Chains A and B, each alone.
Chain A
Amino acid sequence: MKTQLTLTQRQALKTLNFIGIMLFTLVVFNPVYGQTKTNSVSEVSVNERTIKGIVSNEEKVLKDVNVRLKGTRVGTVTNEKGEFTFPKKLKTGDILVFSYLGYENQEIEIKKDTAFIKLVLTEDLIEMIGALDSAKPYKSKRKN
Chain B
Amino acid sequence: MKLLRFILLFIIAFQANAQISDFKHINFKKADSIALEYKNEGLHNLPELSHKLTSQLNTEVEQFRAIYRWVCNNIANDYNLYLKNKRKRKRFKNDSTKFKTWNNNFRKKLFNRLLKDQRTICTGYAYLVRELAKLADLECEIVQGYGRVSTTDIENLDLPNHSWNAIKLNNKWYLCDPTWASGIPDPETNRFLFNYNDGFFLANPKLFAVNHYPLEAKWWLLDEDIPTFEKFLAAPIIYGKAYKNLELHIAPIQMHHTIKKHETITFKYQLSKTIKSEDISLLIDNGFNNWTTKPKSTSIKKKSLILEHQFKTIGFYDIHLYIGNDLISTYTVKVKS
Contacts and interface: CB of A to CB of B under 8 A. Distances in A.
Interface of A: 64, 66, 68, 73, 75, 77, 97, 99, 101-102, 105, 123-140, 142, 144
A142 B124 CA distance: 36
Interface in B163-206: 163, 179-180, 184-185, 187, 192
Contacts of B61: none
Contact of A137 (B123, B142, B144, B320): B320
Given A130-B121, A133-B179, A136-B187, A101 B43 contact: yes
Contacts of B144: 127, 129
Nearest to B142: A126
Given A130-B82, A130-B162, A140 B107 contact: no
B318 interface: yes
A131 B318 contact: no
Given A102-B111, A137-B283, A129 B163 contact: yes
A137 B327 contact: yes
Interface in B294-331: 316, 318, 320, 327, 330
B240 interface: yes
Nearest to B43: A101
Contacts of B330: 137-138
B103 interface: yes
Given A126-B127, A128-B121, A132-B77, A97 B47 contact: yes
Contacts of A124: 127
Interface of B: 43-48, 51, 77, 79, 81-82, 85, 89, 103, 106-108, 110-111, 114-115, 120-124, 127-128, 131, 134-135, 142, 144, 147, 149-152, 159-163, 179-180, 184-185, 187, 192, 237, 239-241, 283, 285, 287, 316, 318, 320, 327, 330, 332
B90 to A, nearest CB: 12
Given A101-B131, A134-B149, A142-B287, A128 B110 contact: yes
A97, A137, A139, A144 — which one has the most chain B CB atoms within 10 A of its CB? Answer: A137
B87 to A, nearest CB: 13
Contacts of B327: 135, 137
Contacts of B161: 129-131
Given A128-B124, A133-B180, A99 B187 contact: no
A126 B160 contact: no
Nearest to B120: A130
A101 B184 contact: no
A128 B318 contact: no
B44 A68 contact: no
B232 to A, nearest CB: 14
A68 B51 CA distance: 12
Contacts of A73: 47-48, 51
Contact of B108 (A102, A132, A133): A102
Contacts of A140: 285, 287, 316, 318, 332
A129 B122 contact: yes
